[in-house]
Amino acid sequence: MSEDGIKVKDSVRKKRRDIKDALGDDILRYIAELLTNSDDSYRRLESKGETIEEAPIYIEIKKDKRDTSRYSVSVTDNAEGMSKETMEKIFGEYGGDNAGGKELHARGIFGQGASDVLRAAAKEKLTACIESVKDDKITKLLYNMEEDLTAIIKFPPVKIQVAEFKKALKISRNGTRITFGIPSTVKFKEKDKETLAEKIAKYPYFRWLLNQENRKVVLICDNKETVLSSEKYQFDEKNFIAEEHFEMPFDGEKLKCILKMYKNENKPLDGTNILVINEDYSVFDNTMFDFQNHPSAQYISGVLLIEGLYEICYKHLNLDDPDAIVRDNRTGFDVKNPFYSELNKIITPYIRTILEQHGKDTSTTDITNNKKFNDALKKLNKYMKEEMKEVIGGGGMTGKEPPAEGFKFARSGITITKGKVYDLKLLINPDIIEQGEIIEISHDGEDYMEVSPNQISYNETDIIDGVVAKSITIKAEENTENDKYIKATLGSRETVVAVEIIEEDVHYPETGMDFYPNEVSLIYNKPHVLNLYIDVQKISIGSIIYIKAEGLETDEQIELTEEHKINGDVAKIDITLIGGELGQVYEVFAICETEETNAKITLVDSAEHKNQSGGLIAGIKLQASDMAYQSYYSPADRYIYINNANPINVFMMGDMTDKDPDNPTFSKEQRKYLCDVIANQAATLLVKNKNIKNGEIDFNDDVEGVVEIIQEMIQGHKNKMYKAIYEIVQ
């Protein structure tokens, strides 16, 4: 090895996955990249004051020149054209800031759209080229892949005359044609040519692009030209039902938002949810914000305008520690990004109210009005609560400095609640403790708690930012009279944590403070109490905590005192709220300097509250829907909905529409099937939430492997859940 070291390169397998995953298997996403690039080019001309008249964009489907058993797609515009220097800049750097969109809010934010299209074709030795004319000069680029999938761009000489070239490509002055062979991973066959025009016309991301007066988009297939238009998919103002104006605080700014909702009887056919756009009508997402399967949403669509959306996306993509608000495969928001979380939190009450007032009226039966199913739900939530574990935060220490003593627990002492399961981290310094070395775990509280595992080691993949954090699971079974100790030992090295088990509920905030639980249903005409837990290692005694709850009465500020402390690490404040309207959802915020947390409460009547078990699942309802699903979980109200109009459900259970809403009863076969459906939804929800909280699934694995892992985890939990709840309802 030289003193300069060895250059690390991606494996061919990794490159193949990246290319495959970039645009997936939908031909419309490939066309979208090139079509929006062309439209952006027109818009750049218009921004300079140039008038665009009769300058069409052509999409042509034909046999691929390199493999005549396959098809290729060409997208040709009559816009700016590109010189060789421009092509080198754009295609010589993958993912660079080449979209020219900062001033124009152009959609090519990631600088890799057209490259992704060409890479996918070149990987399979199909046509991947660009031909462009700029100021009567022709440039041609060929995009190729070497055996190790390193991209190579070449500029072959062009012998054709400019006039002949323009005529062949249907370019009047300047313009560009990009051609790519359709990869084998893309679903496109001979018969798909017949329906392609309609699929493009109704594709939500083209809703405004195909509806511009000053230029048209033409599909050429088998020498037949079809002018594409999205006019029939535009919202009709006579179907307008609601409009909401609000602001979204994010990153020190307040983004102005306008939500408009419409009745849409064609929604099952056109697939339009809520189109998220910026002020230039670029579509960033097509989402229902967790209401996509809600029965009342099946014939309602809308538009959400967020002013400055492009700028905030661009800013975050170019930070020193960049993050993508919109996924780089251009399929909408990254739902794990704080931007989406904040937007979802703000918009949910508006959508819920609109659906309740204007959604399709469908009768529902709450099956937890049946006592046995209500008891089963409580047992289900108890199982899920135990499986989720209570993560004991490390006071901001975890993941920062590796312990100088080799290993230590995240805290030297903890107070935990009887009956709950906790996850305590053991921090390991990989520079001191080698991979494969066994750390023994023991404790002196056999009559009070269960602790697992009894041995811990780590491997290279466990090292994150120079430290390893391994989980110790503690199940608190009995109250302790004196502290009990968990010990970690390796040779002469040893660390201990003191454990106290009490009756009072204790929650360790993951950040500085948490409402726990943070989503609850409370009786509307009584005072509402939320528990706010504070990590006193991060927020000191004497600090002022500000409480905000629009629509509810509460203390505006509270001083954190010694009396609030549960133990040396955690304090708890009971936040009392008064007022509010039945059926409404309210958000409560707690703010202390740079720390902020929130909770969501739904106000219900006393009868409905009897069925609220306080867990991940608030209830289970039967509801007829025209949608295809058998069942789904609604994050908006935490209910499992079972579609009693679904053909499979009808076949398995018969007609379920005549149930007594106050006390529904079910046959033995119906109870068996309901337990199966409920257990499947609950297991899926549990695996999803465990991964969000504890990161159990490594999504860097290959797709097939991840799918198998997820399926196995869901099935394992489903088996246990089914047995637990069927024992109650049989």
Residues 32, 59 contacting (CB under 8 angstroms): no
For 85-115, write each residue's pLDDT tens digit.
999 888 887 765 554 444 433 444 444 678 8
Does the pLDDT at position 608 exceed 60?
A: no
Task: Please state the rounded mean pLDDT for residues 520-539.
Answer: 85
Helix (H, G, I), strand (E, B) or coil at 106: coil
List of long-range contacts for 459-465, beta carbons under 8 Å, 24+ apart: 459/435, 460/435, 461/698, 463/430, 464/399, 465/399, 465/400
Average pLDDT over residues 504-522: 83
Q: Is the pLDDT of residue 14 over 70?
A: no
Q: Which of 583, 600, 617, 557 has its CA nearest to residue 346?
A: 600
Q: What is the pLDDT of residue 103?
A: 43
- The DSSP element (H or E) to which 87 belongs, if any, is helix 84-91
CA dihedral 439→444→446→450, nearest 10 degrees, is -40
**How many CA atoms lie less than 13 Å away from 575 in the CB half-sphere?**
34
Q: Residue 233's pLDDT is what?
A: 92
pLDDT at position 1, please? Answer: 43
Would you state the pLDDT for residue 20?
A: 58
- In the chain, what is the straight-line distance between the N-terminal and C-terminal CA atoms, in Å? 69
> Which residues lie below 8 Å from residue 607, measured CB to CB, with a gap of 6+?
none
**Per-residue pLDDT, 172:** 87
Q: Picking from 104-113, 161-170, 509-518, 579-588, which range would have the lowest pLDDT averaged per residue?
A: 104-113
At 19, is the pLDDT very low, low, confident or very high (cuts 50, 70, 90)? low
In this prediction, residue 323 has a pLDDT band, given cuts at 50, 70 and 90, of confident
Q: What is the mean pLDDT of residues 373-378?
A: 92
Closest by CA to 530, choosing from 574, 570, 596, is 574
pLDDT exceeds 70 at position 10: no
DSSP 308-375: THHHHHHHHHTSSS---SB-TTSSSB-TTSHHHHHHHHHHHHHHHHHHHHHS----EEEGGGSHHHHH
Residue 675: φ, ψ to 5°: -60, -40
Q: Give the pLDDT mean for 296-314.
A: 91
Residue 134, pLDDT score = 94
CB 241 within 8 A of CB 299: no
> pLDDT tens across 668-698, in order?
999 999 999 999 999 999 988 877 655 555 5
Mean pLDDT score, 35-59: 83
In a 3-state reduction of DSSP, which class is residue 281?
coil
Amino acid 105: pLDDT: 38
Q: pLDDT: is 252 or 13 the higher one?
A: 252
With vertex at residue 15, the alpha carbon angle to CA 14 and CA 17, rounded to the nearest 5 degrees, is 65
**Overall average pLDDT of the 319-335 stretch:** 80
Least confident of 48-57, 432-441, 702-711: 702-711
- The residue type of 68 is T
Distance CA 105, CA 114 (A): 18
Three-state DSSP state, 261: strand
Q: State pLDDT tens for residues 107-159.
A: 444 446 788 899 889 999 999 999 999 999 999 999 998 887 788 999 999 88
Please give the structure tokens belonging to residue 610.
Answer: 């009897």
Statement: residue 288 has pLDDT above 90: yes
User: What pLDDT, on the 0 to 100 scale, is given for residue 330?
Assistant: 65
pLDDT of residue 606: 62
Q: Whole-model pTM?
A: 0.68
Q: What is the mean pLDDT of the chain?
A: 85
Tokens 């189109």, residue located: 275
Alpha-carbon gap, residue 286 to 304, rounded angstroms: 10
pLDDT score of 398 more than 60: no
- Higher per-residue pLDDT: 450 or 363: 450
How far apart, in whole angstroms, are the C-alpha atoms of residue 516 and residue 533?
A: 7
Residue 271 CA to residue 330 CA, distance in Å, equals 17
pLDDT score at 587: 85
Where do the domains of the chain lie, and which CATH numbers do they carry?
12-228 (3.30.565.10), 237-358 (3.30.230), 393-502 (2.60.40.3450), 518-609 (2.60.40.10), 616-729 (no CATH)
Lowest mean pLDDT among 47-51, 76-80, 374-378, 565-569: 47-51
Q: How many other CB atoms sit within 10 Å of the CB of residue 280?
A: 14
Confidence bin at 45 (pLDDT 50/70/90): confident
Distance from C-alpha of 726 to C-alpha of 675, rounded to nearest angstrom: 6
Residue 189: both structure tokens together: 């066959």
Kind of pairing between the strands at 595-604 and 557-559: unpaired
Write out the E strands in 491-645. Answer: 493-502, 513-515, 519-523, 528-535, 544-548, 557-559, 570-577, 585-592, 595-604, 619-623, 631-634, 639-642
> Stretch 552-579: mean pLDDT, rounded?
91
- Rounded to the nearest 5°, which phi and psi values hold at 18? -60, -45
Give the integer Cα–Cα distance in Å for 508 and 499. Answer: 14
Q: Are the beta carbons of 559 and 543 closer than 8 angstroms?
A: yes
User: How far from 603 is each of 357, 519, 580, 716, CA to CA, in Å?
Assistant: 17, 11, 7, 35
Mean pLDDT calculated for residue range 454-465:
89
User: Above 70 in pLDDT, residue 17?
Assistant: no
The letter for the amino acid at 523 is I
286 band by pLDDT with thresholds 50, 70 and 90: very high
Question: What backbone torsions phi and psi does residue 556 show, to the nearest 5 degrees?
Answer: -80, -25
Sequence-separated (6 or more) residues with CB below 8 Å from residue 723 = none
Beta-bridge mates of residue 575? 530
642, two tokens: 């079972």
8 A C-beta contact, residue 325 and residue 248: no
Cis peptide bond prior to 453, omega within 30° of 0: yes
Q: Is the dihedral of CA 346, 351, 357, 362 positive or negative?
A: negative
Tokens read off for 649: 């459900």
Structure tokens at 212: 């511009």
CA–CA dist 193, 222 (Å, integer): 9
Closest by CA to 203, choosing from 222, 223, 228, 186, is 228
Task: Give the helix/strand (H/E) hosting 482.
Answer: none
Percentage, residues of the chain above pLDDT 90:
46
pLDDT score recorded for residue 24: 76
User: Per the structure block, which two tokens stand in for 35?
Assistant: 């079509």
pLDDT of residue 650 exceeding 70:
yes
On the 0-12 / 13-18 / 19+ scale of CB atoms within 10 A, 652 is middle
Average pLDDT over residues 350-371: 84
Please give the average per-residue pLDDT across 1-20, as a whole number.
Answer: 58
What's the average model confidence in pLDDT over 584-605? 85
Q: Tell me what percent of the residues of the chain surpass a pLDDT of 70.
A: 89
- The yes-or-no verdict on residue 68 having pLDDT over 50 is yes
Q: What is the pLDDT of residue 244?
A: 95
Contact criterion met (CB below 8 Å) for 551 and 519: no
